[in-house]
Structure 1
């Protein structure tokens, strides 16, 4: 039996009677939708010491432990965490936050999600996360120093002054008990805070916070509202409503901490949203100035600032600004060894042991290959695999990984890729015919033959579900030998639909020479396959003395086949569009009936029901933002409406030519179909959420039960699984064409309005499921 074959374990799972490693009624150690929650405790999460984690922790520890004195205060620094979606940026940021709380109890790290807006919006989120009692404690520390200085000149008050400096007694109470000149002391306090913050308004406002009767007025101004009359009478007239004022205020908080020897830690997740929420290059340039100023202020403010976001953060054009990003830590996909450590740690936290079972070594390798080592994806797959093992009480083999992943993630099968191979090659006019001589119950030695212009086989295409064992290599060797035995000097091209280890890839090189195996990937596969097969045919032509006329005939025949394939595709699209028209008309009729029933007192639509509770309002806004972005990308509806509008001075067929030019820019209907599918997917997700909400305890004002929350996780996971299969490159074509206005055939000019970038689409749609879950957790009072 091969070593990776699923086998039923012993009763204890590891040869020790009476113990089961994965009981059917036990807790599944893995979440179906793994989302980092900042409020989770260190004991409830598993963090593997990857290179990125080790580097980030070291940078934070160096800041926290750095020696500092009043003469040489702590220096600030920036730590930038970058990585694609699902690589663990929020998880690492949350881990650093917990480390601050554990390593420096006096510190109160501020964590916030960056908004899609300006630095003013960022500041408002910042001040909302700052705890007023912490600020009051810090200001009391300053006031204690001022009062202590006053008492040192008073006989018999040295002990009281010492206790004030040590924070043992309240300075306000001391001033009242000893009848000290509070007005004079507050003036000294104000002068000190103006010097520390380097801002007259902020220094004054912080001093006024010591007066309980006006705290609310002062804090209202600090949150970004205009100053009330009381503050204007004391010289505060401006509002913190510009990028410059917002950044000055944030830096002032850092200086307040630094001057008293306290660490100040600010963590901004998804910071790239601040830089990307612009509508033009000039807006981006305007945003760079404040951003550079923010980075410059970090060093002298004494704060430790963590910026987490997409890799675009480090791709800013200004070199001097990029150099101020501090240490840049890239979160890369996890290796097989790191995933094994994660699995063992997860089992240790839940089961109390660190055994790998029910996973086998080969299963973990396949798991990492299928998910490309992205934490969010492999953790989700671990959830379903562990559930399978609980139900079957069998170990997980590579084949089980492929089966379960296919069921839950809609991964490609050999059959799917076999169809795609045929479509890719026939589309460019390459002669393709199906293989034969299939053995009973086995795979065909050859999936497709590729012929030259004389009909001779020149290339044999083999598809394999994965090469993860010596037996798989042997099978490929035998199939290649049979192909060459049948067609002589035919070249062999292998397409691997699954996992291919480096070791086995090296063993395949002499079998397939001169062609390397092709590992199936949705984005690059068509171009790679076409390039390899075209290269095989080209090498054959170069090795024979071909009649020039035959070469020309071969080219003409290939063009003819391409035209035939294109015509068939056009006819199919026409039929498909006709079907879409009928479906759309039916849907419009249903919508009209629903609207009519609503006016008669029926169930209101989602947008109306969203006003019923804060939860629905928050989630509905997420869905509406996604759909609005999609409608701004797909402007075809407006273009089609303009076709039938006659405007004086405009050519009669200008609208028709504009649509035709759009379709040519988009290379056909595929981008439009992609946008339609994405829109319907979001709408279906929204309807599923509303159904879940109506049946949950949340609607009645309670908290969702664990079973209800798990069901919501499954809904979100299914959305994410389908979203990740959407070809975003097709949407990129739609984005590019939507950003142009075809005035007439052959000529296009840039629109004056804003354009939409592919990163905006990824940011909005990729984590829609995650944000829905966070919105529910936040409304239910769960840490998020």
Structure 2
């Protein structure tokens, strides 16, 4: 990194996979040491005891980071101490466990052919047991042990000694049933080994209804919903364990798995059963959860799990963060400025990094006063920024059916938005610049107290458009009875929710029921009018946007004026970008959306496998296509930046320290930006395509395979490019 560059990330969000891929420093706290010791002691190899580890903490305390650290730790140990473990990761469980199971876990098992190899182990073991029962062969211990160790091919042994393969297959199915206790699984896995049914079996394992061929062979029920997925994965875990293998499952954002509404108790019981299976099977289950979610789990599950609770950073850990990002040095920070960073952030690691980025400057030495001053709103920006926040709030209130008065002067203060309700009640929205010390809290307190003295039946909502230190925000929240809202992308929604909550509180003490009814009718009418206005405005913007796009499209290039292709890269670098581009293309082929639209129709048309899905174009599909376009653009810009670096850094020699720092910054910026794009949305292009070919088991399981391939190709791309670029070996 060049001298004078800000060393701290502007978007300090990490994913479990991102940390595991490398490049993220870890502050070793007592919680980190405890988690590492538990992993090392209880998951050292096949045959060791099972472990369920719960990483518990508030948002931003480092749950994903610690999980990623443990992922890398177990993966490194597996490389240095070869065993029979299989690591699986669910980096965010949006859509519940059923989706994570069918699209991530099963996809990984397909891509790596892990389950097929496992069934082959069982087949070899059954063949060895069969030999032990035969006269003349039971004494051939070397052959029998070689089969069990997979030194010999079971099929060749069957042919060599003229054994009955049908009898051995029947024994395989019985053995699988003894292990799983499920007739459907034993039949499906036996068919998987038999051959000819791979597509049908994989589709069934991924949650699709069984095909006619499977139904004819006794597999009639699909693996449905979260409960079915938990049971299926528990069955697979036990299958691996009985052959001396161990599954290691890491789940980030466990909270998304446990629903808050109907079905919660059943899912929680399924989670406990899966945890019991992992402990019995000697496996490793690590999950990240918020404290509220973890405490809501039954005591039986919490008693079996080892909890690692993440605490806020103290002074020493805050200074460690600074040193990790500044090559071991504290300057321009001092212990006093680090203490102020810790106070303002509440010790939250994510907030610490945000503040370090926002307040950083190369010189001179930073003080606590410098930190606070850099967080305050500049006087020249105050009026314009305040007006913008007011506008966002007013738009949100109007779209919600309210009639706010803005900039009302009363009780010796300015109320940014005043909403009158029935029965002489009201909701006031106050905007503050920042909350970073006691003086800021005192100013808000004076405004609230004066307002309530003049209008007692008033609920207050406070919005801060600057930084809000946790302890100061809590003081204001205690004063007004609700959390302080922060200006940001979701401010409008947050204000609508807060004002509606305030209205409900006031309505609980209402006396005039008719006034409340009339107020509700008026709001509904205003909301309808505002919705129509917004719809007309959106249509106008879309039309204008298409006009701008049409004007921006360049005319076709002439043969002599064709644009130049992308700049060349050394082959050792190009192969990483080619693999990433190819993998991304697996999920972003928008042409396939209309593959079934122009298929021949009518009585003379060739027989088709089904009717194309004529679905409407949904907002979710547009979002998915937008993510695809953004990721493709990000990848192309990353490649161009690396190509420019090679051009300037003279690729015929080993890059110097400054050049390495610059490339590291480029790769780090790509990784940070890529982690903010939700790749899982790309699946919707295939799932919701309006005129795609009809869905079937083959396409469903292929999508699961593609998802695993894309994850493998794009995960850690920035770090792989950096390592390949600075390697002096010729490409």
- TM-score norm. by structure 2 comes to 0.56
- C-alpha distance in structure 2 between counterparts of 1:600 and 1:23, whole Å: 42
1:263 touches 1:302 (CA, 8 Å); kept in 2? yes
Deviation (angstroms), 1:114 = 5.1
- C-alpha distance in structure 2 between counterparts of 1:293 and 1:715, whole Å: 36
Deviation (angstroms), 1:306 = 1.7
Deviation (angstroms), 1:112 = 0.6
1:144 touches 1:165 (CA, 8 Å); kept in 2? yes
Which residue is 2:345 aligned to?
Answer: 371
* Cα deviation code 1:355-400 (max 9, x no counterpart): 32332222211111111111222123333445x22xxx43333233
Which residue is 1:734 aligned to?
Answer: none
Name which one, 1 or 2, has greater alpha-carbon Rg.
1
- C-alpha distance in structure 2 between counterparts of 1:781 and 1:581, whole Å: 45
Pair 1:412 & 2:435 matched: yes
* Cα deviation code 1:337-368 (max 9, x no counterpart): 12223333444xxx4xx232332222211111
Deviation (angstroms), 1:215 = 2.0
Pair 1:144 & 2:127 matched: no
Which residue is 1:509 aligned to?
Answer: none
For residue 108 of structure 1, the aligned residue among 67, 72, 86 is 86
- C-alpha distance in structure 1 between counterparts of 2:10 and 2:19, whole Å: 14
- C-alpha distance in structure 1 between counterparts of 2:229 and 2:177, whole Å: 17
Q: Any residues of structure 2 matched to 1:624-635 within 5 Å, and which? A: none
Which stretch of structure 1 is more off in the superposition, 412-421 or 396-405? 412-421
Which residue is 1:38 aligned to?
Answer: 17
Distance 1:284 1:113, change over 3 A: same
Distance 1:175 1:339, change over 3 A: farther
For residue 523 of structure 1, the aligned residue among 474, 479, 499 is 474
Deviation (angstroms), 1:224 = 0.8
Q: Any residues of structure 2 matched to 1:201-600 within 5 Å, and which? A: 201-278=184-261, 280=262, 283-316=263-296, 318-324=298-304, 326-347=305-326, 351=327, 354-386=328-360, 388-389=361-362, 393-406=363-376, 411-412=434-435, 417=441, 419-429=443-453, 521-525=472-476, 527=478, 590-597=537-544
2:204 touches 2:222 (CA, 8 Å); kept in 1? yes
Q: Any residues of structure 2 matched to 1:73-92 within 5 Å, and which? A: 75-92=49-66
Which residue is 2:599 aligned to?
Answer: none
1:80 touches 1:327 (CA, 8 Å); kept in 2? yes
1:146 touches 1:188 (CA, 8 Å); kept in 2? yes
Pair 1:199 & 2:182 matched: yes
2:8 touches 2:353 (CA, 8 Å); kept in 1? no
- C-alpha distance in structure 2 between counterparts of 1:716 and 1:42, whole Å: 12
Alignment size in residue pairs: 481
Q: Any residues of structure 2 matched to 1:692-771 within 5 Å, and which? A: 697-698=633-634, 710=669
* Cα deviation code 1:418-476 (max 9, x no counterpart): 6424302312439xxxxxxxxxxxxxxxxxxxxxxxxxxxxxxxxxxxxxxxxxxxxxx
- C-alpha distance in structure 1 between counterparts of 2:140 and 2:714, whole Å: 48
Deviation (angstroms), 1:240 = 0.7
Distance 1:264 1:599, change over 3 A: closer
Deviation (angstroms), 1:331 = 1.4
Deviation (angstroms), 1:317 = 6.9
Which residue is 2:148 aligned to?
Answer: 165
Distance 1:712 1:205, change over 3 A: closer
2:345 touches 2:352 (CA, 8 Å); kept in 1? yes
- Secondary structure (helix, strand or coil) at the match of 2:312 reads coil
- Secondary structure (helix, strand or coil) at the match of 2:37 reads helix
Pair 1:61 & 2:75 matched: no
Distance 1:55 1:144, change over 3 A: same
1:614 touches 1:779 (CA, 8 Å); kept in 2? no
Deviation (angstroms), 1:222 = 0.7
1:101 touches 1:107 (CA, 8 Å); kept in 2? no
1:316 touches 1:322 (CA, 8 Å); kept in 2? no
1:367 touches 1:401 (CA, 8 Å); kept in 2? yes
1:272 touches 1:312 (CA, 8 Å); kept in 2? no
Deviation (angstroms), 1:712 = 10
* Cα deviation code 1:179-208 (max 9, x no counterpart): 543222222222221111221211222222
- C-alpha distance in structure 1 between counterparts of 2:169 and 2:231, whole Å: 23
Deviation (angstroms), 1:615 = 7.2
Deviation (angstroms), 1:286 = 4.1
For residue 99 of structure 2, the aligned residue among 121, 131, 134 is 121
Deviation (angstroms), 1:64 = 1.5
User: Higher relative CO (CA 8 A, sep ≥ 6), structure 1 or 2?
Assistant: 2
| Gaps in structure 2 of 5+ consecutive residues | 379-384, 386-432, 455-466, 482-525, 552-584, 591-618, 642-664, 677-706, 718-731
Deviation (angstroms), 1:600 = 7.3
| Gaps in structure 1 of 5+ consecutive residues | 1-21, 69-73, 431-496, 500-518, 531-578, 605-611, 618-682, 718-773
CA RMSD of aligned residues (A): 4.7
- Secondary structure (helix, strand or coil) at the match of 2:208 reads coil
* Cα deviation code 1:189-244 (max 9, x no counterpart): 22221111221211222222223432222111111111222222322111111544
Pair 1:781 & 2:717 matched: no
Deviation (angstroms), 1:691 = 12
* Cα deviation code 1:532-565 (max 9, x no counterpart): xxxxxxxxxxxxxxxxxxxxxxxxxxxxxxxxxx
1:197 touches 1:256 (CA, 8 Å); kept in 2? yes
Which residue is 1:49 aligned to?
Answer: 28
- C-alpha distance in structure 2 between counterparts of 1:284 and 1:77, whole Å: 24
* Cα deviation code 1:721-775 (max 9, x no counterpart): xxxxxxxxxxxxxxxxxxxxxxxxxxxxxxxxxxxxxxxxxxxxxxxxxxxxx99
- C-alpha distance in structure 1 between counterparts of 2:267 and 2:716, whole Å: 32
Deviation (angstroms), 1:169 = 3.8
Which residue is 1:637 aligned to?
Answer: none
- Secondary structure (helix, strand or coil) at the match of 2:113 reads helix
Which stretch of structure 1 is more off in the superposition, 94-103 or 30-39? 30-39
